[in-house]
Structure 1
Amino acid sequence: MELSAEERSMLAGDFGPGVRKAMEIVVALGRVYGALRLVPVGSVQVAGVSYRNLGEAGLEFLREWADQSARVCVPTTLNPAGMDLRAWRELGFSERFARRQLSVIEVYQRLGVRATCTCTPYLVGNVPHKGAHVAWAESSAVSYANSVLGARTNREGGPGALAAGITGRTAAYGLHLDENRRALLRVVVRCPVRTFSDFGALGYLVGKAARNRVPYFVGLEVGAGLPRSCSDAALKALGAAMAASGAVPLYHVAGVTPEADQSDVLAPDHETLVVDDLQPAYAALNSDVHGNRIDLVWCGCPHSDLEEIAEVVRLLAGRLVKTPLWITTARETREQARAEGLVAAVEDSGGRVVADMCVVVAPMQELGFRTLATPSAKGATYVPSHTGLQVRYGTVEECIEAAVTGVWSG
């Protein structure tokens, strides 16, 4: 691997032990994946934030790095925590968990990381341009950055992403290289894809088939009769589902995404998958639940934007909920929603706009929940295995009706 003089100095410890440790990680990863060089990165998104996932060992690892005076040198944002950092008590999280979770955030701040606590960094100012090299760890954000923004990132692990933030470098392999961004699976969509949950269901099916290959979608073009015309939110749902059911870090949509119309976007040896029915995905994403009682309705995986929060307000139409309703979002987005009166509207109906956290990485069973409803295919994929809760998956409309009635009728 060829290193610049500055990179060799980092590796030699000239910038301190914390930077040396980070460069050792970056170089080791590069060697594992056969990289010939490193590339500067414009931004980083770090995962591994919830204390439920990190535990004491992970927290101590971060503290040791911070004690070595390591600091990020490029804009670096943080993935969701396991609770709302301000309203944790009202939501029912224990003081024991909260104390440890806040310790994790404090260490990341010592390292210079912005405590954004969101899986949608592109909604809070971390927006790389087409062709920019970045090092992001959150799977849905990696998919969005590569596919919708046209930036270049592999799916980094938590320590690898933080090491990239400290060194400002990542290894040049995988999706940083032109040849690995070509599609190996042509997906022909021959069924209606009308709602966000339909996009999620489509993503679930394609992720299962694609695994870690790059798919190229035909039939989702703007003007193909889709009510939402492949909006950014729809693409967010599509990519998040593929990253969860498979490990898809990049996809192309003909006529929509920035690299889709390149003449060589399809590899010569690509395979073809025809999707003509989404019902198998809906069946797979719904747990085998006895009864229709819902304990929690959860929207916002990935984190909701302003338009999605406004849609929930529209569907609530001033009605009171019988079942807890959580809309998870970034703190910055929540403040914007509060300024526009959306938070008050949700709260007037008895719901909550929750910041900083993701249900998947939260200690949900401690709160007494057993079955939740969600319009998120990513959430429906992860919740049973990560939290032990059962899931009902359907449209946003069906989920809000479940919040109002307390039962699932989808």
Structure 2
Amino acid sequence: MMFLTKEEEKIYNGEYGEVLETCMNLLVSLGDIYGAEKLIPISSAQVSGVSYKTIGEKGLEFLKDISSSNVKVSVPTTLNPAGMDLTNYEKLGFPKKFAKKQLEIIKCFKRMDIELGCTCTPYLSGNVPLFGSHISWAESSAVAYANSVIGARTNREGGPSALASAIIGKTPYYGYHLDENRLPTHIVEVEANITKSSDYGALGSIVGRIVKNGVPYFKFKKLDINNVSSYKSYKLKALGAALAASGGVALYHIENITPEANIVLKRIEKIEGNNCNIEKITITEDDIKNEYESLNSAECPDLICIGCPHCSLEEIKEVVDFILKNNLNKNNKFKCDLWICTSIYIKSISDRMGYTEIIENAGGKIVCDTCMVVAPIEDMDYKNIATNSGKAAKYLPNFCNSNVIYGDIIEILKKGL
């Protein structure tokens, strides 16, 4: 059984109201299941379970019950993508019935003082935890990024547990909050030349399938650590997202790059020196090529969708550069729909930079608050989706009944010419 402070016991016993009691009971039950010794304070939370497509009527009723008590979150808390652009849903053609339900969900979160940024990349929008800090995040790609690239500590929370942590301000002390669980379970020797974000997505798709919920340690044979462009943050974002979607990876390390890689390296060398079992995986050029082929199931897109996880400004700039290079404008537009999915924060900068206008003149849309996976695109006459996301390529066939055209940003944009 977990140790609880006197104050925590009061909450657990219902002395501060039914909602806090429910939240504390959820956290204690989770801690008991995983052998946590106590609860620990968190510096931030990130809550999933926002799209009406994913939580449905039962999820909406749960949120109504929680939010009706006027309980507020006790730590800075951001929200995962919703099922539609909360501002431009009518212009984009989202179903009216769906929109009504989605707005009800958003009202519930607003009552709890949760920031309505609706993004899977909170670390690009101000929710940036410190190295080693304990957090409670739920979105799988954000969890992988926070643990791996930032070096914060979170388990892969569910929507209800992250919300409970946000309200209580604490999380059970187990899993990736502990040093011993952040050590590698697999060494991945990458012989392939990984350069594009879609290469990282394909790599993550392969490795996630093999290691499942393990902790891979990547050794890139052809990666020049002095060439920062080869491992930019949005490429690591793509890697973590695909690892989490294909398997259950919440933490990975890359030799000489990610912040804990050198810390765990000594442990790896000790394991290898003692001839202990640590599985080794080799990824070749053929493996990456075959993964591209397996992720592709269509040729001509109805929709090109970039931004799963949400686009950084740098990725939007890549789209803009393509548009300008190919002289796309009001008289020469893309032949299919184009969505650039990002947060409202990044879009505001894109507006100021003139990027949004360039994209819209070429027939594209910058879509906030959502992405193709959690949006009801199957009800919007989109069947063949071109994406640069290994995560989306994994989810689209099952979640949206979609065919997939998978490739790097430039490759899939060419499909729309």
Q: Identify whether the pair has TM-score above 0.5, normalized to the shorter chain.
A: yes
Structure 2 residue matching 1:391: 3-state secondary structure: strand
Q: What count of residue pairs does the alignment treat as equivalent?
A: 401
**1:141-170 Cα deviation digits (max 9, x unpaired):** 000000000000000001000000000011
Structure 1 residue matching 2:187: 3-state secondary structure: strand
Query: 1:302 aligns to what?
Result: 309
Give the drift of 1:220: 6.4
Contact kept? 1:33, 1:173, Cα under 8 Å: yes
Distance 1:101 1:220 in 2: 46
Q: Residue type matched to 1:363 in 2?
A: P
1:321 aligns with 2:334: yes
Q: Residue type matched to 2:150 in 1?
A: L
Structure 1 residue matching 2:192: 3-state secondary structure: coil
Contact kept? 1:194, 1:226, Cα under 8 Å: no
1:283 aligns with 2:293: yes
Distance 1:264 1:3 in 2: 35
Query: 1:397 aligns to what?
Result: 410
**1:201-242 Cα deviation digits (max 9, x unpaired):** 111111111111000011168625867231111100011000
Contact kept? 1:200, 1:376, Cα under 8 Å: yes
Query: 1:352 aligns to what?
Result: 365
Contact kept? 2:191, 2:222, Cα under 8 Å: no
Compare 269-278 and 387-396 and name the one that shifted more: 269-278
Q: Residue type matched to 1:106 in 2?
A: K
Query: 1:84 aligns to what?
Result: 85
Q: Residue type matched to 2:278 in 1?
A: H
Q: Residue type matched to 1:306 in 2?
A: L
**1:12-57 Cα deviation digits (max 9, x unpaired):** 2232221111101010100011111111111001000001111111
Matches within 5 A, 1:4-403: 4-219=5-220, 223=224, 228-262=229-263, 263-266=265-268, 268=271, 269-277=277-285, 278-287=288-297, 289=298, 292-317=299-324, 318-319=327-328, 320-403=333-416
TM-score of the two chains, using structure 1 as the length reference? 0.95
Call closer, same or farther: CA 1:67–1:227 in 2, change over 3 Å.
closer
Q: Residue type matched to 1:284 in 2?
A: S
Structure 2 residue matching 1:35: 3-state secondary structure: coil
Give the drift of 1:279: 1.0
TM-score of the two chains, using structure 2 as the length reference? 0.94
Structure 2 residue matching 1:239: 3-state secondary structure: helix
**1:82-140 Cα deviation digits (max 9, x unpaired):** 11001111111121111110000000111121111100000111000110000000000
Q: Residue type matched to 2:300 in 1?
A: R
Gaps of 5+ in 2: 272-276
Structure 1 residue matching 2:116: 3-state secondary structure: coil
Gaps of 5+ in 1: 405-410
Structure 2 residue matching 1:152: 3-state secondary structure: coil
Contact kept? 1:131, 1:150, Cα under 8 Å: yes
Contact kept? 2:23, 2:164, Cα under 8 Å: yes
Distance 1:112 1:214 in 2: 34
Distance 1:8 1:221 in 2: 54
Q: Following TM superposition, where does structure 1 have runs of at least 4 consecutive aligned residues deviating by more than 4 angstroms?
A: 224-227
Call closer, same or farther: CA 1:242–1:166 in 2, change over 3 Å.
same
Q: Residue type matched to 1:271 in 2?
A: E
Compare 211-220 and 323-332 and name the one that shifted more: 211-220
CA-based RMSD? 1.4
Q: Residue type matched to 2:314 in 1?
A: E
Give the drift of 1:294: 1.4
Distance 1:249 1:293 in 2: 34
Distance 1:300 1:357 in 2: 9
Query: 1:408 aligns to what?
Result: none
Contact kept? 1:222, 1:256, Cα under 8 Å: no
Distance 2:241 2:187 in 1: 19
Q: Residue type matched to 1:145 in 2?
A: A
